[in-house]
Every structure is written in structure tokens, then in C-alpha cells.
Amino acid sequence: MTGNRILAMIVKELWAVLRDPRGRIMLIVPPLLQLILFSAAATLEVKNVTIGVWNRDGGPASVEFINQLAGSRNISRIISITSEDALRSGIDDQKLIAVVIFDERFSRDVAARRPATILAILDGRRSNTAQIVAGYLGTVAANTGASIRPTLVQGGRSIVTNWFNPNLDYLWFIMPSLVVTICSLSALSITVQSVARERELGTFDQLMVSPLRLHEILIGKMTPPFLIGLFNATVYLIVIPLFYGVPFTGSLLLFYLAAAASLLAIIGVGMAVSSIARTQQQAFLGMFLVTVPMTLLSGFAAPVDNMPSWLRLIAELNPQKHFLVVSEGLFLKGMPASAVFAELWPLLPIAAVTLAASTFLFRLRME
Amino acid sequence: MSAAFDPRRMRAMLAKEFTQIARDPSTLLIAFVLPILLIFLFGYGVNLDTARTSIALSRQDDGEAARSLAGAFQQSRWFDVREVGTIGSLKTALIAGKVRGIVVIPDGFSRAAAAGGGDIQVITDGSMPNSAGFVSGYADGVRATWAAGRAAERGERPRGGPAIDVDNRYWFNPALASRYFLVPGAIAIVMTMIGSLLTALVIAREWERGTMEAIMATPIGMGEFMISKVIPYFVLGIGSMTVCTVLAIGVFGVPLRGSPLALLAIASAFLVPALGLGLLISAATKNQFVASQIALLTAFLPGLLLSGFLFEIGSMPGWVQAITYLVPARYLIPPLETVFVAGDNWRLFLPNIGALLGFGAVFFTLAIRVNRRRIA
């Protein structure tokens, strides 16, 4: 009975993964630890900033600006600077992310309604942070201007509404992407070990002489990572809305469909790596070689839109990229089935290719 | 195992380790192919610089002013107007992720603009907070520039407007290229990988295969043993750091404003705790799979998340900030960024190098202890 044989193979493979207590812990702890670490560390806000102020003006306008600056909730300390040397060492030694300089004419210019300019020196080593701080300074300047010189006539404005994530909470972006990364990573790390371990232990030959047929072996080896990937996704699916308050607005069925489709494609990749590798170590390194680009090109680290067009094309072949779009969509945007399918269909040819390639490479190994 | 130190034995051990590395394709793969791949990925794939963003436009007013503003959006170099229609139809594009925002020029805009006002509505895709902030900021910029231009045409002074201007000067990186910090950060990751991950894996394999016991049975001393294990990976780490640096400068135009000597000193100092951690993990686990997972969790992930490379340490909650002090990579990122982009600054380098060597001493002491216990 082929059904029984496949079942026996699946049970055997699950045992191989779950038997070692350390291995068991390693399946659960890293994903949870990553969840905690990411939720705590990943932030786009820049808080607790220390800014230097070199006030060569001392007039009322500069004092008002400094008061506004001190009141800004992301700026925790203001340090007075009085010399070129202090400015240079403050920035060079990364004690200050920015120094604001008022020249002698500043308050007089403001009083006379001439254009008044503040010079801000920012640490370009951390260009992203510096730009965000520059944004804070711009807001403080606008507020100071408004409080000193209220305008009577209101000009046009842009009224901004952020759909799907009204407060632009970065956690709401991170969490749905993390589901994708963890789900793929846990499945991949098990898949790559499956063939390589048997080869290293010498049990691969035993498998070959068993009555199992090729497809039975492959199904047996691919099912445990598939199940464990789905298991981790499920844990996250429960934990994220419950503990982190990120809403899940779409259909669960569609989510599992997306997870299953991308897992198939990813497990195909993992199986191919495992068949090529001669040792567990090579398998692990091969996995690393595959995971890092897949994660970086998924849209998790930086938007796919920002990539050069040739790289965007490669990103389209990345199963994680499609899963990520759908995951973000189903968590936050209530993505309808039509949009989900439009994003998911490329996963089918990708999965077909990776699974076929892994079968081919596995067969090659057998001979 | 004896405590004696014999240069000839040492040389023989080193020769053995180097041969082992040279014959193992996977070691060379991780030491040279993966670093190059990483540098290219961080150089091309992880681009945090704001590119042209796709938006949709919904113009509900037929007046001249509304059409003129719509034209301004269409010609803006910040935006690529992909779709035009009603909000209802554009919502589908926003959900599918085809556009990152919708600019709505509402009914009655032209009349309001003639009276000196004229509000627009900007709807962003909040599921990508970064792009959302960009869309709302730049959409308002396009509107304000357009309004100022119209006012100037009519010979009026712009209403409102900023009374106080901030002139931002970005030192070291005036063009604000994100690769200036991403590429050095990738080098830090590469060194973490070689120092901790690769070392942990290779030595755990020796334990697994029992070749470690064979070495232990020889008269080699603990000091010789440690040195013979560490030096080849140290050389490998410096080698791939050099390859990455050449690529960073040659391909990605990241400057090396500091001296190569300073870079070498910083990289060497970081490899000490990285290698120590690798040795410690391998000795404590003796199992490749577990060693690889622990190395990922204790070296790779903290290096990526808690080092200040991608996320600001100052913005993290207090308890996470406290943890970052225990992450060696935290002391690598500031000097590494500085030596590339700013130049030599030993006031910044020395305390960090000191901290790295301190961690190295702790890890090596622990590794020696664990090894001793294993043998006894």
C-alpha cells in the first residue's frame, strides 16, 4: 500500500526531527526569540536624541526655538555648544546626531520679517537617522515660526489619511513580514538537513534499498517541514493579534493557501540544496546562501520598489516576496481573494520548477 | 594534553588547519562567495533611498487650478502617477500594492485655490509606513511648490510659508546615500558569520566526528590547540573583509576616508570576540545543527538587530538597550562606519576596540574552561 508507506515515511521523518530534545527546543525557541527581538528592536522612529545648540544670537526667536526643541517628545537632551572644536568633536565622536547653529542676525531677521535661516549640521554617517532628525527640526522651525508670527490667512493644506495603519506603527509592518520569514526559515532549515543528514550518517543507502519509491521518499521528506512551517505560522497568527494588537483583517483560508503555496516552492529549493550537499555542514551553509538573498529581496528589509529593475525581476521569482505581499494584505488591508490570487499565481510555476529540480537532483544523488 | 608550547608542533597544526580549509569547498564558499553576495545584496537590493513612488490620482474638480495641480503631480520627479479614477476604483490598486498612495483633488478645489486656499487629500498605504511617510511628505511638497508658483505668477507673496528656514548640512555624506552605512554594515555581518558561525560549525563537526578526541590525545597544549584553531579563521575573516572593502570602494563608491591600518585594527579587534564565541559555542554544543542555530541566535541576529546597524539603539526600550551592551557588534558598527565615511578618530576607536578585546578575553576564557571540562 503506497499510502501506508508514505505515512510510515512521514512518521519516520518527523521522528528524525523531533527525537533530539535539543533539536526540539531549537524548533520553537528561535522563532519566539526572533519575534520578541524584532518587536522590541525594530523601530523606524528616532527617540531619545541628543542635539547640540550653538546660540550666537541669544535673541527671543532663538530662545523660542530652543524651548520648542526641548518640548519635542523625541529629543531628550540639548547640549550647549560654544566653539567650532566642540561642534566638531560632538559630531565626530557620535555624541550628537545634530547641532543647530543660530547666527548673530537670527532674531533680528525674524523680527524684521526677513527670511531667517538656521544652520543644522547632521551626522551623515547615519544618513537615515539624520534625515529623520532633520524632519523633527523642520517641524520645530515651523512651530516656532507659527508661534512668533501667526499667519492670518490659511493657505492650502494636505489632509493626510493613512489607510490600513492609521498611526503608521512600524510593528504593524514588521509582524506580518516576520510570519513569512519565520515560516520559510523553519521549513527550509529542516528540509536542507533531511537528505544531507542521511548521507552523512550512511542511512541514505538503507533508504535506497527499501521498497519506497522515489515520490514516496520525497513526499515523506517534504511533509514534516511543510507541517512545521505551517505550525510556526499558526503560532504567529495567534500571538501577533493577541499580544501585539496587529489586526488580521483578511481570510484565514487565503492565508493558509498562500503559506502552503510558498512553502511548496521553498521546500523545493531546500530539497535541491540538500541533494547537492555532501555533508550537513554544506547543507547548512547552502541554506544560508539561499535564505539571506530570499529574505533581503522579499521586501522585508527594503521596499522592492526601490530596487533596480533587473533586481526587481529576480525578486519576482522569490516565493517569499509573493507571500509577503499577501501576508501584509491579509493582516492589514483585508485583501480580497482576487488580489490574493493575482499575487499568488506565480508561486505555482515557481513551485513546479523548484520541486521538479529537487526531484531531478535527488534522483541524480541516487545513482 | 600538555601545557608546553612547541613551535614545530604549532606549525604542523596550523598547516593541518589551513589544508583542511583549503580542501573544504563549503568553507571557501562562506568565506568568499557569501560575502560578495551579501555586499551586492546590500549595495543593490537594500536601498533605503527614496526612489520614485507610484501613486494614483483622483481629480474630482474640473477647474483650471485642479488640472494644473494634477499636471504638477504628473510631472513630479518624486511620483509616478500610475492610475487615475475615482477613490473607489483606486482603492483596489492600493490594496493590491500597485500604488503606495492616492492624491485626491476634491470637488471645489479650484474655487478654494482662487481664494488663496485649496486643500488636497492624501491617502497613503499605511501597511508600508516608510513609503507612507514619504508619500504624504512629498505630496504636500508638490502642492506647496505648485501653490507658491501660482502665487508668484500672480505677483503675490506666498501666504504663510515658513518664516524660519533650516539649512541642513549632512557631514560625511552630503548626498545621503544609504549604502554608505549599509555596505560597511554588511561587512560587519560577514565578519560575524566567519568569526562565529563558520568557526562554531567547523569545530562542532570535529567533535561530532570524533577527530577532536584524536587531537586531544596528542601531546598538543591547550594554548597551541586554541591558536591553531583560531588563526586560520582569523586570516579568513580578514581576507574576506578585504575582498568586501575592495568591492565597497570599487563597485559601490563607498569612501574609505580613514587609514587601512585603522580598518585592520578595528576588524582584528572584532574578530577576537567573534572567534571566541564560535569556539565557545562549538565546545558547549558539540553538535553541528545546535551549534549553527545557537550561532545564528547569539551572533548573527543580534549583530543584525541590536548593533545599531539597521535600527537606532537609542530608540529601543530600556531593557533592550541594556542587552545591546552585551552584543560585541555594537562596538564594531560606530568605528566601522567612522573609518569608512568620516576618517580616523582614535577617540572613538580606542574605547570600542578596548570593549571588543574585553569581550574576546571573556569568551576565550570560557571556551578554554569548557574545553578543559570536556576532556576531564
Residue of A nearest to B125 (CA): A163
Residue B161 placed within a domain: no
Number of folded domains in chain A? Answer: 2
For residues A140 and A256, state if they share a domain.
no
For residues A108 and A174, state if they share a domain.
no
Residue A161 placed within a domain: no
> Chain B contacts of A286, Cβ < 8 Å?
26
Residue of B nearest to A132 (CA): B133
| Domain containing residue A83 | 49-148
Residue of B nearest to A196 (CA): B289
Nearest to B29 among A128, A285, A292 (CB): A285
Contact state of A151 with B159 under an 8 Å Cβ cutoff: yes
Residue B296 placed within a domain: yes
For residues B315 and B362, state if they share a domain.
yes
Q: What is the pTM of this model?
A: 0.87
For residues B146 and B202, state if they share a domain.
no
Q: What percent of chain B stands above pLDDT 70?
A: 95
Cβ neighbour number for residue A337 with a 10 Å cutoff: 13
Three cell numbers, residue A133: 532628525
Residue A203 placed within a domain: yes
Contact state of B162 with A311 under an 8 Å Cβ cutoff: no
Cβ neighbour number for residue A32 with a 10 Å cutoff: 14
Opening angle at CA B220, ends B214 and B224, nearest 5: 120
CA distance B172 to chain A (A): 5
For residues B212 and B322, state if they share a domain.
yes
Contact state of B315 with A48 under an 8 Å Cβ cutoff: yes
pLDDT band at B246 (very low <50, low <70, confident <90, very high): very high
Of A272, A265, A266, A267, whose CA–CA distance to A286 is shortest?
A: A272
Whether B237 and B263 have beta carbons less than 8 Å apart is answered as no
Q: What is the mean pLDDT of residues B341-358?
A: 95
Contact state of B126 with A165 under an 8 Å Cβ cutoff: yes
CATH code for position B133: 3.40.1710.10
> Chain B contacts of A159, Cβ < 8 Å?
119-122
pLDDT band at B198 (very low <50, low <70, confident <90, very high): confident
For residues A109 and A239, state if they share a domain.
no
For residues B304 and B345, state if they share a domain.
yes
> Chain B contacts of A38, Cβ < 8 Å?
305
Rounded Cα distance between A100 and A82, Å, is 11
For residues A94 and A224, state if they share a domain.
no
Burial class (CB in 10 A: 0-12, 13-18, 19+), A111: middle
| Domain containing residue B27 | 7-46+177-375
Rounded Cα distance between A103 and A112, Å, is 15
**Coil vs helix vs strand at B307:** coil
Contact state of B163 with A306 under an 8 Å Cβ cutoff: no
Long-range contacts of A137-141 (CB under 8 A, 24+ apart): A137/A69, A137/A98, A137/A100, A137/B166, A137/B168, A138/B166, A139/A72, A140/A65, A140/A68, A140/A69, A140/A72, A141/A65, A141/B162, A141/B164, A141/B165, A141/B166
Contact state of A307 with B44 under an 8 Å Cβ cutoff: yes
Rounded Cα distance between A80 and A155, Å, is 36
Convert the pLDDT of each residue in B73-131 to its tens digit.
999 988 999 888 888 889 999 998 889 999 999 998 999 888 878 899 999 999 988 88
Residue B362 has pLDDT above 70, yes or no: yes
A109, A114, A125: best to mutate for the B interface, most B CBs within 10 A: A125
Rounded Cα distance between A99 and B69, Å, is 37
Residue of B nearest to A283 (CA): B26
> Chain-centre distance of CA A169, in angstroms?
14
Residue B74 placed within a domain: yes
Alpha helices in chain B (DSSP H): 7-23, 25-28, 34-40, 64-75, 87-96, 109-114, 129-153, 179-192, 199-209, 211-216, 222-250, 260-285, 288-295, 301-305, 318-324, 329-337, 346-375
Cα radius of gyration (chain A): 28
Residue of B nearest to A142 (CA): B162
For residues B221 and B113, state if they share a domain.
no
Residue B207 placed within a domain: yes
Residue A3 placed within a domain: no
Half-sphere exposure of B89 (CA within 13 A, CB side): 9
Residue B169 placed within a domain: no
Burial class (CB in 10 A: 0-12, 13-18, 19+), B18: middle
Contact state of B164 with A117 under an 8 Å Cβ cutoff: yes
B168, B179, B201, B331: best to mutate for the A interface, most A CBs within 10 A: B168
Rounded Cα distance between B222 and B4, Å, is 9
Nearest to B164 among A38, A141, A160 (CB): A141
**Coil vs helix vs strand at B345:** coil
Domain end (from A89, A121, A148): A148
Residue of B nearest to A171 (CA): B129
Residue of A nearest to B171 (CA): A124
> Chain B contacts of A334, Cβ < 8 Å?
95
For residues A283 and A192, state if they share a domain.
yes
CA distance B233 to chain A (A): 16
For residues B226 and B332, state if they share a domain.
yes
Contact state of B96 with A26 under an 8 Å Cβ cutoff: no
Residue B220 placed within a domain: yes
Whether A77 and A51 have beta carbons less than 8 Å apart is answered as yes
For residues B84 and B230, state if they share a domain.
no
For residues B282 and B353, state if they share a domain.
yes
Window from A191-195, B264-268, B336-340 with minimum mean pLDDT? A191-195
For residues B250 and B365, state if they share a domain.
yes
**Coil vs helix vs strand at A53:** strand
Domain end (from A86, A116, A148): A148
Contact state of A333 with B292 under an 8 Å Cβ cutoff: no
Residue B166 placed within a domain: no
For residues A143 and A255, state if they share a domain.
no
For residues B256 and B228, state if they share a domain.
yes
Residue of A nearest to B30 (CA): A285
Complex ipTM? 0.84
Residue B3 has pLDDT above 60, yes or no: no
Residue B328 placed within a domain: yes
> Chain B contacts of A26, Cβ < 8 Å?
289-290, 293
pLDDT of residue B2: 53
Contact state of A124 with B29 under an 8 Å Cβ cutoff: no
Rounded Cα distance between B350 and B370, Å, is 30
CA distance A1 to chain B (A): 34
Residue B376 has pLDDT above 60, yes or no: no
pLDDT of residue A152: 46
Nearest to B136 among A130, A158, A193 (CB): A158
In Å, the largest CA–CA distance within chain A is 94
Of B364, B167, B246, whose CA–CA distance to A99 is shortest?
A: B167
Cβ neighbour number for residue B10 with a 10 Å cutoff: 18
Burial class (CB in 10 A: 0-12, 13-18, 19+), A129: buried
A vs B, Cβ pairs < 8 A, gives: 323
Let me know how long chain B is: 376
pLDDT of residue B102: 94
What is the side-by-side strand order in the sheet with A158-163?
A158-163, B120-125, B101-105, B53-59, B79-84
CA distance A257 to chain B (A): 17
For residues A197 and A312, state if they share a domain.
yes
CA distance A297 to chain B (A): 6
Residue B313 has pLDDT above 80, yes or no: yes
Rounded Cα distance between B299 and B199, Å, is 12
Domain end (from B121, B153, B185): B153
> Chain B contacts of A331, Cβ < 8 Å?
127
Residue A159 placed within a domain: no
Cα radius of gyration (chain B): 28
Number of folded domains in chain B? Answer: 2
Rounded Cα distance between A59 and A71, Å, is 19
> Chain A contacts of B100, Cβ < 8 Å?
305
* A281-306 CB burial, b ≥16 within 10 A, e <16: bbbbbbbbbbbbbbbbbbbbbbbbbb
Alpha helices in chain A (DSSP H): 2-18, 21-41, 60-71, 84-92, 106-111, 127-148, 170-201, 204-209, 214-244, 252-276, 280-296, 309-316, 319-328, 337-344, 347-366
Contact state of A92 with B118 under an 8 Å Cβ cutoff: no
Domain end (from A148, A183, A210): A148
Rounded Cα distance between B9 and B335, Å, is 37
Could you say which DSSP state residue B313 is in? G
> Chain B contacts of A149, Cβ < 8 Å?
163
For residues B58 and B146, state if they share a domain.
yes
For residues A114 and A229, state if they share a domain.
no
CA distance A112 to chain B (A): 11
Rounded Cα distance between A297 and B65, Å, is 42
For residues B145 and B257, state if they share a domain.
no
Q: What is the pLDDT along chain A (367 residues), one digit of tens a residue?
A: 567 888 888 888 888 878 877 777 777 788 888 888 888 888 777 888 999 999 999 888 899 999 999 988 889 899 999 999 999 999 999 999 999 999 999 988 888 877 888 999 999 998 888 988 998 898 888 888 878 766 645 577 888 999 999 988 889 999 999 999 889 988 998 898 888 888 877 888 888 888 888 888 888 889 999 999 999 999 999 999 999 999 999 999 999 999 999 999 999 999 999 988 888 878 888 888 898 889 889 988 888 888 888 999 999 999 999 999 999 999 999 999 999 999 999 999 999 999 999 999 988 877 6
Whether B259 and B217 have beta carbons less than 8 Å apart is answered as no
Residue of A nearest to B301 (CA): A34
Residue of A nearest to B122 (CA): A160
> Chain B contacts of A67, Cβ < 8 Å?
none
Opening angle at CA B2, ends B1 and B4, nearest 5: 145
Contact state of B48 with A306 under an 8 Å Cβ cutoff: yes
Three cell numbers, residue B202: 567547523
Contact state of B173 with A157 under an 8 Å Cβ cutoff: no
CATH code for position A142: 3.40.1710.10
Domain end (from B112, B138, B153): B153
